Amino acid sequence: MLTGTTTSDEEPRRSVAEAPVAEAVLLDGEATDGEATEPPPLTAQFASSPRGARHARRLAVRRMEEWGYPPASDVSCTVALVVAELTANAVQHGRVPGRDFGLRLALDEASDLIRIEVADAAAAKRPPAAPPSSYPDGESGRGLLLVDVLAERWGSTPRHPVGKTVWAEVSTEASTTAEQGGSMAGSTPVQ
């Protein structure tokens, strides 16, 4: 629940979701029957400020490295950009005074996806169903266009009792959505 606030230095409160205690799971992530288990997701709360958004992005990159994706890899850079856009939107559009925003990052090795979830306390301000069109000279409005291009899929769900969660799923495979033809119409590939 996003009811607390952070300290004055706005360091994130980290709480990693742990797997239920069971004798079948060892500490190294291998089950006793030889099957690998999913790595635990990252779950943290941050101050609803630009500094909190920056901390969330940095923590996401650090977790990606722990999962085997170096900071300079395409997958890690894509996750960092999507986290940056969603957390910036949570700070700018979903901020409720005295409430933090939450970040959850989960690796699903079976489907080769990383799920990014950013939760804020503003239920009334939901993102549009489709990315908004942006004027070329506008100073803002391109964040969800980037998320739409970089993510396999994205959307939002209401949170109870208050707020919403905006989520995106990023592929861990070498080919990205943009390389598969998901790029924006009229855009020129960067060389």
Checking if the pLDDT of 180 tops 70, the result is: no
Report the run of H or E that residue 75 belongs to, with start and end: helix 74-93
CB atoms within 10 A of CB 56: 30
Contacts for 86 with CB less than 8 Å, ≥ 6 apart: 116, 118, 143, 147, 166, 168
Q: Give pLDDT, residue 191.
A: 32
Residue 19 reports pLDDT greater than 60: no
- HEC secondary structure over 114-134: EEEEEEECCCCCCCCCCCCCC
The model's pLDDT over 140-149, given as tens digits with 9 standing for 90+, comes to 667 888 999 9
> Which of 47, 44, 159 shows the shortest CA–CA distance to 99?
47
Residue type for position 128: P
Alpha-carbon distance of 122 to 163, in angstroms, equals 5
Q: What does the alpha-carbon distance between residue 151 and residue 171 come to, in Å, rounded to a whole number?
A: 7
pLDDT in tens, 79-89: 999 999 999 99
Residue 164: band (very low, low, confident or very high) from pLDDT cuts 50, 70, 90: very high
Query: Can you give the pLDDT at residue 172?
Result: 95
At 11, give phi and psi (nearest 5°).
Answer: -75, 145
- The mean per-residue pLDDT over the stretch 121-149 comes to 71
Query: Which pLDDT tens digit goes with each residue over 48-75?
Result: 999 999 999 999 999 999 999 999 999 9
Question: Average pLDDT for residues 133-143, to the nearest whole number?
Answer: 65
pLDDT for 104: 97
Cβ-proximal residues to 73 (8 Å cutoff; 6+ apart), any chain: 64
CATH architecture of residue range(s) 13-176 = 2-Layer Sandwich (3.30)
pTM score > 0.85 for this model? Answer: no
Q: What is the pLDDT of residue 45?
A: 95
Query: Considering the chain, what percentage of its residues have pLDDT values greater than 70?
Result: 63
The β-bridge partners of 158 are 164
Distance CA 159, CA 25 (A): 31
